[in-house]
Structure 1
Amino acid sequence: MPNAIGLIVYGYVSLNDRGALDDLRMQRRKLAVDLKALTGFDCRTTIQRIEEDIVAIEAGLARLDEGATS
């Protein structure tokens, strides 16, 4: 995850800030839904990037879950 979202997720995981990660994931999900609803524009690349961001965020949440059970 060398991209910007990876660094953001890393920071939130380091701070153990589940709320910030949940908010970030919800914002990305809403953005994806809004872009999918657009007509007249090809947003496939942007939507794909947003979905990759969501995967990275969920991986961060999973790391927090692993830390909580350890």
Structure 2
Amino acid sequence: MPNAIELIVDGYVRLNNRRALDDLRMQRRKLAVDLKARTGFDFRTTVQQIEEDIVVIEAGLARLDGAATS
């Protein structure tokens, strides 16, 4: 069963909404940077999940790029 980010990315790809995917990726990157800068708590699991989300988002962007060249 796909996780939430996969469903969101799939929806944006079907809608051909590159801007939403770019915004989502930037939000995730900023969140990862912010969490990595924090001290006093171990955010490694959360940061790992965010980085996995970014991989899914980038795959969606690649699908859009592939559809544009076809």
User: What TM-score comes out, normalization by structure 1 length?
Assistant: 0.98
| Percent pairwise identity | 83
Q: Deviations over 1:15-49 (max 9, x none)?
A: 00000000000000000000000000100000000
Q: Which structure 1 segments of 5+ residues have no match?
A: none
Q: Which structure 2 segments of 5+ residues have no match?
A: none
Q: Which runs of 4+ in 1 moved over 4 A?
A: none
Q: Deviations over 1:47-67 (max 9, x none)?
A: 000000000000000000000
Q: How many correspondences in the alignment?
A: 70
RMSD: 0.9
User: What TM-score comes out, normalization by structure 2 length?
Assistant: 0.98
